[in-house]
């Protein structure tokens, strides 16, 4: 593979296991020559993340729960001590209570709304605040979003509202940080069977629907999201910021069910 990320050092947040989108991005960045650091959320995931980090010769920067500002500070302090600077950061973090990801959006509670919004949207801004200080030679920040931000998708509910806010925050962050040559973008990935996705009601139906109706007539993989991430994180996209880039086999451009789609 072309070494598009030679000499770049980046932090990958949100690896839970080897099906995580963050893992697909990490593998692609490593293949393109980048040096990586990982965080994990709590001891249960530490056991999963450490061997994965070893596979890519990555530095484990520590535990990070984005609801705990001290853990975020500690991770960025560890990165500063190890590397002194940072070239890119990948934010693959989202959360909504499972009960909110089925049924009606209108029933969302205030508590779950705030929690989903904080973890799935504000945390990217909290990461940007800390990463900015280490991106002394410019940089690239990337987050993950979903089509449920743009259109109503079954069961996505409060997460759709949080993703809309996340996409808007990408644009505001791009403006704030652009003068320092720090770029901020998002990938809007098609549905992929991960731990987080398993909480969404009827997820298998959604996968099939996308497979039958996207222009490429299939769903996407974490490896494909990873390769697109390399473009957004490398200098090849140096003229691109504030963008939401769809990696969804083209699903977002389609207006209705494909004529050849089987009934499901």
Q: Does 60 bind ligand NAD (CB under 6 A)?
A: no
Q: By C-alpha distance, which of 47, 56, 71, 67 is closest to 22? A: 56
Q: Does 234 bind ligand NAD (CB under 6 A)?
A: no
Using CB under 6 A as the binding rule, whether residue 146 contacts ligand NAD is answered as yes
Is the separation of the CB atoms in 24 and 222 below 8 Å? yes
- Whether the CB-CB separation of 140 and 131 falls below 8 Å is answered with no
**Is 41 assigned a ligand-binding role in the annotation?**
yes
Q: How far apart are CA 236 and CA 231, in angstroms?
A: 6
Q: Is 69 in the site for ligand NAD (CB under 6 A)?
A: no
Of residues 10, 12, 14, 116, which one binds ligand NAD by CB under 6 A?
14
**Three-state SS at 6:** coil
Contact status: 66 vs ligand NAD (CB under 6 A): yes
* 198 annotated binding-site participant: no
How far is residue 119's CA from residue 111's CA, in Å, rounded to a whole number?
12
156 tagged catalytic: yes
Q: How far is the CB of 175 from ligand NAD (least distance, A)?
A: 22
Q: What is the footprint of ligand NAD within residues 83-142 (CB under 6 A)?
A: 92-95, 119
Q: How many chain residues touch ligand NAD (CB under 6 A)? A: 27
Angle subtended by helix axes 222-233 and 21-31, to nearest 10: 60
Order of strands across the sheet with 59-63?
59-63, 35-40, 9-13, 88-91, 139-145, 182-189, 244-247
205 noted as active-site residue: no
**Which listed residue (40, 146, 147, 251) is catalytic?**
146
Contact residues for ligand NAD, defined by CB under 6 A: 14-16, 20-22, 41, 45, 64-67, 92-95, 119, 144-146, 189, 191-192, 194-197
Residues placed in the known binding site for substrate: 96
- Please identify every residue annotated as catalytic: 146, 156
């Amino acid at each position: 593979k072309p070494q598009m990320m030679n000499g770049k050092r980046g932090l990958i947040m949100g690896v839970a296991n080897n099906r995580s989108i963050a893992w697909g991005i990490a593998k692609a960045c490593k293949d393109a020559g980048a040096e990586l650091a990982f965080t994990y959320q709590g001891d249960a995931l530490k056991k999963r993340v450490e061997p994965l980090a070893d596979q890519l010769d990555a530095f484990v920067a520590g535990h990070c729960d984005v609801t705990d500002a001290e853990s975020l500070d500690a991770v960025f302090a560890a990165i500063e001590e190890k590397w002194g600077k940072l070239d890119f950061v990948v934010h693959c973090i989202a959360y909504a209570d499972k009960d909110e990801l089925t049924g009606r959006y209108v029933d969302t509670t205030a508590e779950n709304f705030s929690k989903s919004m904080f973890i799935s949207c504000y945390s990217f801004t909290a990461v940007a605040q800390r990463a900015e200080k280490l991106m002394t030679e410019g940089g690239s920040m990337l987050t993950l979003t979903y089509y449920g931000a743009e259109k109503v998708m079954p069961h996505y509910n409060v997460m759709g509202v949080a993703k809309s806010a996340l996409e808007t925050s990408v644009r505001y962050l791009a403006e704030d940080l652009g003068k320092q040559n720090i770029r901020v973008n998002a990938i809007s990935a098609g549905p992929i069977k991960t731990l987080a996705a398993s909480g969404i009601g009827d997820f298998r139906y959604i996968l099939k629907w996308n497979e039958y109706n996207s222009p490429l007539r299939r769903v996407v993989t974490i490896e494909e999201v990873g390769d697109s991430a390399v473009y957004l994180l490398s200098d090849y996209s140096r003229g691109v910021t504030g963008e939401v880039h769809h990696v969804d086999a083209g699903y977002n451009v389609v207006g209705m069910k494909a004529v050849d789609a089987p009934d499901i």
